[in-house]
Amino acid sequence: QKEVEQDPGPLSVPEGAIVSLNCTYSNSAFQYFMWYRQYSRKGPELLMYTYSSGNKEDGRFTAQVDKSSKYISLFIRDSQPSDSATYLCAMSEAGNTPLVFGKGTRLSVIA
C-alpha cells in the first residue's frame, strides 16, 4: 500500500459544478498538505498549502485536512473548462522537505 492514495479518475463534470477531490494517507507524521495542479506537459503548480488540520479557502478553492481520519480534500466551486488538469495531492513531514505525492486525479470540465 502506498503512503498516499488518490483515485486517478478520470473525473468529468459540467461547467459550474462543484468538484470534490480527495486523498487518504497512512503516515501519521505528515503535517504539511498541498494540492498541485498539473496541465499536460507542464510542471506541477501549487494551488493550496495547509498545515495540520483545518480548512483553508482561496477564491473558488477550499482545502480541508482531517488528520484524525488521515483524509484531505480539495473543493472547486463554479468549475471552469480552464480547471481541466490533473490534480495532485502532496504531503510532507516537515517544512521544506521532500514531498510524497498521490497518483493524481485527471479532471475534465465540460463547457
Partner 1 sequence: GAGVSQSPRYKVAKRGQDVALRCDPISGHVSLFWYQQALGQGPEFLTYFQNEAQLDKSGLPSDRFFAERPEGSVSTLKIQRTQQEDSAVYLCASSLDYAHSGRPERQYFGPGTRLTVT
Give the one residue of 64, 104, 107, 109 binding partner 1; rule: CB under 8 A.
104
Q: Which of residues 61-90 bind partner 1 (CB under 8 A)?
A: 88, 90
Report how far residue 4's alpha carbon sits from residue 52's, in angstroms, rounded to the nearest whole number: 16
- Segment lying near partner 1 (by CB under 8 A), choices 11-19, 40-48, 63-71, 73-81: 40-48
Q: How many residues bind partner 1 (CB under 8 A)?
A: 26
Residues sharing a CB contact under 8 Å with residue 108, sequence separation 6 or more, in sequence order: 10, 11, 12, 13, 84
Stretch 19-38: interaction string toward partner 1, x if CB under 8 A: -------------x---x--
Is 58 one of the binding residues for partner 1 (CB under 8 A)? no
48 binds partner 1 (CB under 8 A): no
Determine how β-strand 11-14 pairs with β-strand 105-110.
Answer: parallel
CB of 83 to partner 1, least distance (A): 19
Contact 15, 76 (CB under 8 A): no
Question: Are 9 and 106 spatial neighbours (Cβ–Cβ below 8 Å)?
Answer: yes
Considering the rule CB under 8 A, would residue 98 count as an interface residue with partner 1?
yes
Radius of gyration of the chain (CA): 13
Q: Min. distance of Cβ 62 from partner 1 in angstroms? A: 18
Collapsed DSSP state (helix, strand, coil) of residue 82: helix
